[in-house]
Structure 1
Amino acid sequence: MPWFEEMRRIMPSHPGAGDTVDWDAIEASWGTRFPSDYKEFIAEYGEGAIDDYLALMVPETHVGPGGESSYLGMQHESENAEDVWRAANPGVAETPHLIAWGVDSSADILCWLATDTQPDKWPVVVWSRGDARWTEYACGMVEFVCRLFRAEFDECPLGDVSLWGIGSARFLHKEEEQRLRKAGISPWTGEPDPYAGMFGD
C-alpha cells in the first residue's frame, strides 16, 4: 500500500503546512540520514500536531557533547528516550540509538530504533508510559501513523485511543496553531478561545 497516499486521504494537509529543511546540514550534525517517508511528511505537513494529541517534531541542528539542546526538541526528546530505555532495562549493557519523532499527551515517546545503516529500514519503537514498556513495530513512521488511524495493530500503541481507528484526522502546523491562538480562536474547535490573552504571547 502507498502509505503516504493513505495518510493524505485520512489526514489532508492545510495551506501553509510543511517545512523546508536543509537535510544535508541536519544530517551532517546528527551523523545519520533520516528516513525518506519522514522527509516527505515534513515537506508536506511539517512540525505540528494531530488532533491536539500527537505532536510531531522536526529535527534541529544536533548539539554535540557538552552543548545544550532545545528543550522539548527532537534531540532533547531523543536523549530523554534513551534515559527511559536505560531505566526500563537496567541489566542491559548497551543502549540502542533512539531518535524521537513524536510525543503525545499521554507522555508516550515515539522513536525510531536507529541502528540499521539504512534509515528506511528503521522500525518504530514506542515507550508506553501507562504500561511502562517499550514495543517495537516493524514499519516506518508514516505507515505506523496510518496503521494507528486504521486500528491495524493488535492493540492501540498509545496511552489514549483518540486516534485509534478514526476515519479522518486533523493536522495543524505549529505556526498555524500559534496564529489561531493569537487571533483568539481555539485551534482545535474553531470557537473563540476563552483563555486568549491570559498567558501572554
Structure 2
Amino acid sequence: MTGPEEQEGMTGVTDWETPLRLMPPMAESDTSADWGRMRESWGKEFPSDYKQFIEAYGAGSIENYLVVLAPEAKEERLATEGDGMVHETANAEAAWARGEERSPELAAATPELIAWGADASSDILCWDASGDDPDTWPVLVRNRDDNLWSRYDCGMVEFLSRMLRADFDECPLGGLSLWGKQPATFLNEREEKRLLRQGLDPWTGEPDPYAGMFGD
C-alpha cells in the first residue's frame, strides 16, 4: 500500500497546500495543546503534521463522519471513560489483542497503537508509534465492518488528503462519506456550537428550528 506520495509523507514532509485546498478551515482552531505534557504522558513526541493540523484546524469532525481526536494526556481520563484519544487507544489495543484479521504486511507486526481518529462506522484510525521518529509513523486502520487491520505508509494528514482525493486502491474506511469528497467540511466543536446557536444545521448551512436547542 505504499506509493510515491506515501513515501514523501514518510520522510516527514507534509504538503499543506493539498489539505488546505481540499478542506479549507472554517474557523480558527479552538484546541490548545501542551505538547510537553503529551510527551511526558505518552513517553514520546507526536507527529509534526498532527501538531500542525491541531494548530490550523483544531480537533473536530470532517463531514460529520470522521472525528480527529484532540491531544489528550493519559492521566486526563481513565481509558474506560469517554470517547477521546485515551479511550479510543484502549479500544484499538483491545481489538488488536483479540487477533482480528490483518493485512499481509501486518502479519508479524507488534505495533504500539495511539489513536488519532474514529468515525461513524466505528473504525479506529491509529499510528503505529513503535518507531523512534514520529514523522515516520504509519497509519493503521481498524475497519470495523471487516474486523480487518490495514497499514498505510503515510502520515495522518497525507492519509486524510488521499481519502478526499480517493487516492487509495479502495476506501480504507467502512463508509464513503469522505471518499473523493472535494471540498470537504471540517468543523471544530466551537464552530459547530456557534452554528447551532444561530439555528443552523452545521453541516448543511440550512435553517434548523431545532438546532438552537442543542447549541451548548
Residue type of the partner of 2:94?
A: D
Pair 118,185 (structure 1): closer, same or farther in 2 beyond 3 Å = same
RMSD value, Cα: 2.4
Pair 14,196 (structure 1): closer, same or farther in 2 beyond 3 Å = closer
The number of equivalent residue pairs is 198
Residue type of the partner of 1:148?
A: M
1:68 aligned to which of 78, 87, 108: 78
Q: How far does the alpha carbon of each residue in 1:149-169 deviate from its partner, in whole angstroms, 9 at most, with x for none?
A: 111111000111121122211
Partner SS for 2:16: helix
Dislocated runs of 4+, deviation >6 Å: none
Residue 67 (structure 2) pairs with residue 59 (structure 1): no
Residue type of the partner of 1:29?
A: S
For structure 1, which runs of at least 5 residues remain unmatched after alignment? none
- Identical residues among aligned pairs (%): 52
Report the TM-score when normalising by structure 2.
0.83
**Paired residue for 1:137?**
152
Quote the offset at 1:111 in angstroms: 0.5
**Paired residue for 2:25?**
13
Q: Distance in 1 between matches of 2:57 and 2:112?
A: 26
For structure 2, which runs of at least 5 residues remain unmatched after alignment? 6-13, 102-106
2:166 aligned to which of 145, 151, 162: 151
Conserved 8 A contact 1:184-1:192:
yes
Residue 139 (structure 2) pairs with residue 124 (structure 1): yes
Quote the offset at 1:172 in angstroms: 0.6
**Paired residue for 1:41?**
53
Quote the offset at 1:115 in angstroms: 0.7
Residue type of the partner of 1:163?
A: L
Partner SS for 2:61: strand
Pair 172,197 (structure 1): closer, same or farther in 2 beyond 3 Å = closer
Report the TM-score when normalising by structure 1.
0.89
**Paired residue for 2:88?**
77
Q: Distance in 2 between matches of 1:200 and 1:10?
A: 27
